[in-house]
Chains A and B, each alone.
Chain A
């Protein structure tokens, strides 16, 4: 077996991946390759070494972070290194400050769940590295028009991508539909950066966006969804940006009331709560304080609107005029 390394640029982080398995390298290449927005140097190095192990590891308590198939715990006796354990039996140990991670996976490394767990691992090592580089990951979309930049917040399937695409068609631009980085500039104002310039569009939205073509024929985004990868610049020229200053937050909900769209205001507390729910806060005081500081200061700078979207909101272009007017 030949061990080889490959490199990936993932926002402000430069990942060097070393492993023996072609399949694992291919899986992680797909994952790291999602972060396709160029980032200026210097970038923070991140080293990820993956090896097979004879023994599988038990799942830890997850006091630092608990995810669907991964628990993360601090190793207090080892310079606040982290240990991530997975349901597949894989285990990863790393120090976010140095960006060095070592991963042991069960010998049956081609197992479906091991590959799924490596996706979780990639998400962990990247978020830790981004925070270490001064950026807070935010799970939200964006639309931008001149000096207005609205964060679009909703759960998975809540309509972020569809609304983003619909507004792009009306002349808005975007940083992305669900993965962003956020920090405070030296003057205290918030700054957003793009990480991914690929949309994940559901085939059922094809009738609203005939210009995309046959969405079913596009590459699948992940094992968990029917969504397909769409490059917005290929469809709507000039659709993407790489950075912006957020001014608004839109909390998207889906209604069944029969009205195509309803817009209401949000209190400052609601804006804070919505934005804080778009990021992961680990159970570590220092990191939690860093995240809370950036999120709270950003929320303080945003105007919030609750946008209730009906099933037929995209049936007529005129329905979205109220969003243009509310953000003007």
Chain B
């Protein structure tokens, strides 16, 4: 696909207003304009966690921090399992098939796709292979739809000092 065709596809989605890609909001407010190219929607396109997104696990859940935007996110157990797949690089097909082995059913596919769409829209995952090898991802417990919560307030970009993260006053 050429760049111009990809661009028109984005435009068409915005114009129709019916695509799931432009319906995401946070606390009732639109939080992003989402550009999803046809290649991003391909089920075989491999995505990897962006290099400057750091992750920490909390028992079965996890927190993701985007060092570029300073936003951070909480993912539930299923979301954390899927996120780990992207640490080594995974396609939508990979995510669907692995989720099925973890207990997801056909009816869960929409929620899984929406979760991946959200990671793509937030640029937490980007197209391309990861330089890091994939580890074995284990999911135990009952399956529940993956979810990601974007926390409202990003971390400060400019602060008082290396100790005090509050916003500096004007001099």
| A residues with CB within 8 A of B | 65-70, 72, 119-120, 123-124, 126-128, 137, 139, 155-156, 179, 224, 269, 272-273, 276-281, 283, 285, 288-289, 292-293, 296-297, 300
Using A67-B162, A123-B161, A269-B149 as known contacts, say yes or no to A281 and B155 having CB atoms under 8 A apart.
yes
How many of B's residues come within 8 Å of A, CB to CB? Answer: 31
Q: How far is the CB of A223 from chain B (nearest CB, A)?
A: 11
Residues of B within 8 A of A277 (CB): 153, 155-156, 165
Number of inter-chain CB pairs below 8 Å: 101
A127 and B163 contact, CB distance less than 8 A: yes
Q: Is B158 an interface residue (CB 8 A)?
A: yes
Cα distance, A281 to B156, chains bound together (Å): 9
Partner of A292, one of B51, B65, B149, B161: B65
Q: How far is the CB of A122 from chain B (nearest CB, A)?
A: 9
Q: How far is the CB of A34 from chain B (nearest CB, A)?
A: 11
Closest to A273 in B: B151
Q: How far is the CB of B46 from chain A (nearest CB, A)?
A: 21
Binds A, one of B5-13, B52-60, B105-113: B52-60
**A and B contact pairs by CB, cutoff 8 A, 18 listed:** A67-B158, A67-B161, A67-B162, A67-B168, A68-B159, A68-B169, A69-B171, A120-B162, A123-B163, A124-B162, A126-B162, A127-B163, A179-B163, A224-B169, A277-B156, A280-B164, A292-B56, A296-B63
Residues of B within 8 A of A156 (CB): 160, 164, 166
Interchain residue pairs A-B with the least CB separation, the first 3: A68-B168, A124-B162, A123-B161
| B residues with CB within 8 A of A | 51-52, 54-56, 58-59, 63, 65, 67, 72, 74, 149, 151-153, 155-166, 168-169, 171
A67 and B160 contact, CB distance less than 8 A: yes
Residues of A within 8 A of B55 (CB): 289, 292
B67 and A283 contact, CB distance less than 8 A: yes
Residues of A within 8 A of B158 (CB): 66-68
Cα distance, A54 to B73, chains bound together (Å): 47
B54 and A285 contact, CB distance less than 8 A: yes
Residues of A within 8 A of B152 (CB): 273
Closest to B153 in A: A273
